[in-house]
Chains A and B, each alone.
Chain A
Amino acid sequence: MTGTGTTTRLTEVLAAARADNRAALVGYLPAGYPSVEGSAAAMRAMVEGGCDIIEVGLPYSDPQMDGPVIQRAVEHALAHGTNTHHVIDNVRAVAETGAATLVMSYWNPIERYGVERFASELAAAGGSGVITPDLIPDEAHEWIAATDRHRLDRIFLVALSSSDERVAYTTRHCGGFVYAASVMGVTGARASVSTLAGDLVARTRATTDLPVCVGLGVSTAAQAAEVAGYADGVIVGSAFVRALLDAPNERAGLDAVRALAGELAEGVRKR
Chain B
Amino acid sequence: MSSTAQLPDPSGHFGVFGGRFLPEALIAALDELTAAYEKAKDDPEFQAEFTGLLRDYAGRPSIVTEAPRFAEHAGGARIILKREDLNHTGSHKINNVLGQAILTKRMGKTRVIAETGAGQHGVATATACALLGLECVVYMGELDTQRQALNVARMRVLGAEVIPVAIGSRTLKDAINEALRDWVANVDTTHYLLGTAAGAHPFPAMVRDFVRVISVEARQQVLDLTGKLPDAVCACVGGGSNAIGAFHAFIPDEGVRLYGFEAGGDGVETGRHAASITGGSIGVLHGARTYLLQDEYGQTQESHSISAGLDYPAVGPEHAWLHQTGRAIYRPIDDAPAMEAFRLLCRTEGIIPAIESAHALAGAIEVGRELGPDATILVNLSGRGDKDMHTAAKYFDLLDAEAEQS
> Contacts of A163 on B, CB cut-off 8 Å?
28
Chain B residues with CB below 8 A from A221, complex form? none
Given contacts A62-B173, A181-B25, 10 further A-B contacts (CB under 8 A): A65-B181, A108-B21, A109-B298, A113-B297, A159-B25, A161-B28, A166-B28, A181-B23, A185-B184, A186-B181
Please report the C-alpha to C-alpha distance between residue A250 and residue B59 in the assembled complex, in whole angstroms. 62
Task: Report yes or no: A134 in contact with B173, Cβ–Cβ below 8 A.
Answer: no
- A215 CB to nearest B CB, Å: 12
Say yes or no: A112 contacts B296, CB within 8 Å. Answer: yes
Closest-CB distance, B251 to chain A (whole angstroms): 26
Question: In the bound complex, do residue B23 and residue A65 qualify as a contact, i.e. CB atoms below 8 Å apart?
Answer: yes
A68:B167 contact, CB within 8 angstroms: yes
Neighbouring A residues of B180 by C-beta, 8 Å: 64
- Please indicate the chain A residues that have their CB under 8 angstroms from the CB of B75 in the complex: none
Tell me whether B23 and A107 are in contact (CB under 8 A). Answer: no
Number of interface residues of B (CB under 8 A): 32
Q: Which of B208-216, B278-286, B342-350, B353-361 contacts A (4 or more CB under 8 A)?
A: B278-286
On whether the beta carbons of A184 and B187 are closer than 8 Å, the reply is: yes
Expressed in whole angstroms, the Cα–Cα distance for A209 and B393 within the complex equals: 66
* Pairs A–B under 8 Å by Cβ, sample size 26: A60-B298, A60-B299, A61-B300, A62-B168, A64-B23, A71-B168, A108-B294, A108-B298, A109-B298, A110-B298, A111-B284, A112-B296, A112-B298, A134-B21, A139-B20, A156-B24, A157-B24, A159-B24, A161-B24, A161-B28, A162-B27, A166-B28, A170-B24, A181-B24, A181-B25, A184-B25
Distance in Å from the Cβ of A167 to the closest Cβ of chain B? 9
**Contact among B27, B28, B296, B300 with A62 in the assembled complex (CB-CB below 8 Å):** B300
Residues on B lying within 8 angstroms of A by beta carbon are 11, 19-29, 167-168, 173-174, 177, 180-181, 184-185, 187, 283-286, 294, 296-300
Q: Which residues of B contact A63 (CB under 8 A)?
A: 177
In the assembled complex, which residues on chain A have CB atoms less than 8 Å from the CB atom of B187? Answer: 161, 184
Asked if A184 and B184 make an inter-chain contact with CB atoms under 8 angstroms apart, the answer reads yes
Q: Which residues of A contact B22 (CB under 8 A)?
A: 64, 134, 136
Of B173, B181, B184, B283, the residue contacting A112 (CB under 8 A) is: B283
Task: Name A184's contact: one of B11, B185, B296, B299 (CB within 8 Å).
Answer: B185
Interface size class of A (residues with CB under 8 A): 35 or more
Residues of B within 8 A of A124 (CB): none
Known pairs A112-B294, A186-B185; A161 contacts B27 (CB<8 A): yes
Q: Does A189 contact B (CB under 8 A)?
A: no
Roughly how many angstroms separate A163 CA and B21 CA in the complex, as a whole number?
18
Rounded to whole angstroms, the CA-CA distance of A10 and B178 in the bound complex is: 33
Cβ of A161 and Cβ of B25 under 8 Å apart? yes
Q: Is A75 an interface residue (CB 8 A)?
A: yes
Chain B: CB-nearest residue to A136: B24
CA of A204 to CA of B21, assembled, Å: 22
Residue from A107, A139, A170 whose CB has the most chain B CB atoms within 10 Å:
A139
10 nearest CB pairs, A to B: A112-B298, A159-B25, A109-B298, A161-B28, A185-B185, A108-B298, A61-B299, A108-B284, A61-B300, A159-B24
B184 and A186 within 8 A (CB): yes
A72 CB → nearest B CB, Å? 8
B-binding residues in A (CB < 8 A): 60-65, 67-68, 71, 75, 78, 83-84, 107-113, 133-136, 138-139, 156-163, 166, 170, 181, 184-186
Q: Bound complex: CA of A102 vs CA of B43, how far in Å?
A: 48
| Residues A78 and B24 in contact in the complex (CB < 8 Å), given A107-B284, A111-B284 | no
**Is B20 a contact partner of A61 (Cβ separation < 8 A)?**
no
Cα distance, A215 to B159, chains bound together (Å): 37
Q: Per a CB cutoff under 8 Å, which of A65, A83, A138, A170 touches B20? A: A138
| Inter-subunit contact B29/A161 (CB<8 Å) | yes
Minimum CB distance partner of B179 in chain A: A64
What is the minimal beta-carbon distance from B12 to any residue of chain A, in angstroms? 10
The smallest beta-carbon distance between A78 and chain B, in angstroms, is: 7
Q: How far is the CA of A160 from the CA of B19 in the complex (A)?
A: 22
Chain A residues near B21 (CB, 8 Å)? 107-108, 134-136, 139
Question: Which residues of chain B are near A71, meaning CB under 8 Å?
Answer: 167-168
| Nearest chain A residue, comparing its CB with the CB of B281 | A112
B294: chain A residues within 8 A (beta carbon): 108, 112
CB distance from A252 to the nearest CB of B (A): 26
